Structure 1
Amino acid sequence: MTLKDLWVAYFQYPAIIGYLALTAVSVAVWLRYPATLAQTALSAAVVVVLYPLVWYCLHRWVLHSNWMFKVPFLASTWKRIHYDHHQDPNHLEVLFGALHTTLPTIALVTAPVGYAIGGVGGAAAALATGLLTTCVYEFVHCIQHLAYKPKSKLIAEMKKRHMAHHFHDESGNYGITSYFWDRLLGTFYDRPERPAKSPTVFNLGYTEEVATRYPWVKKLSGGIVATGHPRKRGDNHASEREAA
C-alpha cells in the first residue's frame, strides 16, 4: 500500500467523513458566536494537551476493562468498541470507533472545557479541535494496522509500540501518537522487557471460563471466544462450530 492509497482509503471511511462534517459545523457555530482569539487559542491548546491523557484513561480503564462484558446491556458495546478490534487487529470494519460511542465522548471531553474558557465560541473551537485531533489519531491508527510501512522514524516507532500492544501484551503501550502517559504511569514497554507473550492479547481476558459466567459477548460472536493468532484461527473456529 502506498501513501496515496492510504489517503484515499482513509477519506472514504464514514467515520472520518462524519468528523470532518461536524468540524465544519463547529466552525460555523464559532463564526456565529465567536470567542476572542485568545479564548479560541486557549480552548484548542487545552484540548490538544488533554486529549492524550483522556485517551490513555479510556483505553486502559474502559476499553480494557473487565467490567463492561459483565453487564448485559454493555456487552455489545464493549464487543464493538474494542473486543472485536483485538480479536483481529487487521479487521478493517472495526478499525474506527463507532460514531455513536466516539462523538458523545469527544463532545463531553472538549465542549465543557471550551465553554468555560470562551462560552459558545470556545466550546465550538474546543469541539472542532477534538474532532480534528481524532482524525489525526485515526490516520496514525490506520498506518499502524494497514499494510503500509511508514518512512518517518517517529511514526514507525509508534507503529512498533502499538503492534506490541495488539500482538504481544495488551497490558501496556496504551497510547496511539503519544506514550508520555504510558511512561509516567509505568505501562510503557519494549518487547524484550516482557519475553512471555500475554495469553489474553487477543481476547482481553474474556476467556472460555469467563464466558461461561458472562456469555453475552460469546453469543454475539457466534459462540466463539478468540484464542491464538487470528491468521491461525479459522480452522479451529470451523471445528468448534461443527462440534456445537
Structure 2
Amino acid sequence: MYQRWRHHGRSFDLGRMTLRELLVAWGTHPAIHAYAVLAVLSGAWAVQRTLADGTPLWRLLLAVVLAEAAYPVVWYGLHRFVLHGRWLYRSRWTAALWKRVHFDHHQDPHRLDVLFGSPLNVIPTIVLLLCPVGWLVGGWAGAGAALCAGFLTTCAYELVHSMQHLNYKPRAAWLRRAKELHLAHHFHHEGGNYGITEFAVDRALGTFYAGVRDRPRSPHVFNLGYDRAEAERFPWVAELSGGPPRDRPPPARDRQAAPGPAE
C-alpha cells in the first residue's frame, strides 16, 4: 500500500486529481496512518490514566478544548515565523529542512507529495506543544487527551489543505471561502492568510486580507524570498533542488504526469 509513495520523484498532481482520488491518497498516506495510530494510543492512555488516577471527565474535556484552541495559534506561529522565515535556508544544516517543509510546496502548490507534512517534524511538534497544555489541566490523562485531539486535528488539516489545492469547488460555503483565502496566500501574496481552516489569528494580528484587491501581488509568492540573488549567497536549497528557484509554478504540461493512487 505504501509503495506508491516510495518512488523518488513521484508527484500526485492535485490539478488533475478528482476528489475521490484525493480521498484515497489521503486515506492511504503513511503519515495519516501514523497520526491515526498515535491518536488511538494517546486516547487509550488518557482513558487508562483517568481510570487509574480518578481524573474528572471535565478535565479531559477541558484539555481537548484547550488543545483545539491552541492548534490554530501554534500553526499560525510556525507558518509565519518558521516556515516563512528566511533564516532556515541561510544555513547548510537547516536548508534541506526548510526546502522539504515549505519551500517545495510554494514552488509547486499542486504537488501532493510535498503538501503533507513530514511526520518526523509534525509528531515532535505536537507532543512538545500540546502535551504540556493537557498536562496542566488534567495531568497525564489530560496530556493524552490533548495529544489525541492534536493528532486527529492534524489528519483533518491535511485533508482540508489538500482539498484547497484540488481542482474542485467545495459545496460548503465556509470551505469555499477558506480555499479562496488560502489560494490567495499561494498565488497572490504569501505575507498573509496563514490559516488553513480558519483565519481568526490572521484577523487578530493584522495579516488577514479578504481578496487580491487588498494587497499588491508579491514577487516572492512562489519563492518565499529565496530568489536567484539569495540562491547565489546561500546555494544549498538551489543545489538540493537541482536548479535556481522558480518565480512561478511549472505549467501543467511540464509537471510529471502521475496517475492517481486509486489506479
Q: TM-score, normalised to structure 1's length?
A: 0.91
Contact kept, 8 Å, 1:227 with 1:233, in 2: the verdict is: no
In the other structure, the counterpart of 1:7 is 23
Contact kept, 8 Å, 1:40 with 1:125, in 2: the verdict is: yes
Instruction: Give the CA deviation at 1:228.
Output: 2.3
Where do 1:148-187 residues align within 5 Å? 148-187=168-207
Output the CA distance in 2 between the equivalents of 1:62 and 1:145.
Answer: 22
Aligned residue for 2:131, secondary structure, equals helix
Where do 1:72-83 residues align within 5 Å? 72-83=92-103
Report the CA distance shift for 1:4/1:36 in structure 2 as closer, same or farther (over 3 A): farther
Instruction: Give the CA deviation at 1:41.
Output: 0.3
Contact kept, 8 Å, 1:111 with 1:124, in 2: the verdict is: yes
Gaps of 5+ in 1: 236-244
Output the CA distance in 2 between the equivalents of 1:126 and 1:217.
Answer: 35
Contact kept, 8 Å, 2:107 with 2:248, in 1: the verdict is: no
Q: Let me know the Cα RMSD of the aligned residues.
A: 1.7
In the other structure, the counterpart of 2:214 is 193
Output the CA distance in 2 between the equivalents of 1:67 and 1:108.
Answer: 22
Output the CA distance in 1 between the equivalents of 2:18 and 2:97.
Answer: 33
Aligned residue for 1:197, secondary structure, equals coil
Are 2:39 and 1:23 aligned? yes
Amino acid at match of 1:26: S
Q: TM-score, normalised to structure 2's length?
A: 0.85
Amino acid at match of 2:93: F
Contact kept, 8 Å, 1:23 with 1:131, in 2: the verdict is: yes
Structure number with the bigger relative contact order (C-alpha 8 A, sep ≥ 6) is: 2
Contact kept, 8 Å, 2:19 with 2:166, in 1: the verdict is: no
Determine which of 114, 117, 126 is the counterpart of 1:97: 117
In the other structure, the counterpart of 1:242 is none
Instruction: Give the CA deviation at 1:4.
Output: 4.0
Report the CA distance shift for 1:10/1:164 in structure 2 as closer, same or farther (over 3 A): same
Determine which of 73, 77, 80 is the counterpart of 1:57: 77
Instruction: Give the CA deviation at 1:36.
Output: 2.1
Q: Which moved more, 1:28-37 or 1:44-53?
A: 28-37
Report the CA distance shift for 1:2/1:209 in structure 2 as closer, same or farther (over 3 A): closer
Output the CA distance in 2 between the equivalents of 1:145 and 1:17.
Answer: 21
Q: Which moved more, 1:157-166 or 1:138-147?
A: 138-147
Contact kept, 8 Å, 1:30 with 1:120, in 2: the verdict is: yes
Gaps of 5+ in 2: 1-16, 256-263
Determine which of 142, 149, 166 is the counterpart of 1:146: 166
4+ runs deviating over 3 angstroms: 1-6, 232-235
Amino acid at match of 2:175: I
Instruction: Give the CA deviation at 1:234.
Output: 4.9
In the other structure, the counterpart of 1:216 is 236
1:7-36, CA deviations, whole angstroms, 9 ceiling, x for partnerless residues?
Answer: 322211111111101011112212221132
Instruction: Give the CA deviation at 1:230.
Output: 2.4
Determine which of 117, 120, 127 is the counterpart of 2:137: 117
Amino acid at match of 2:151: L
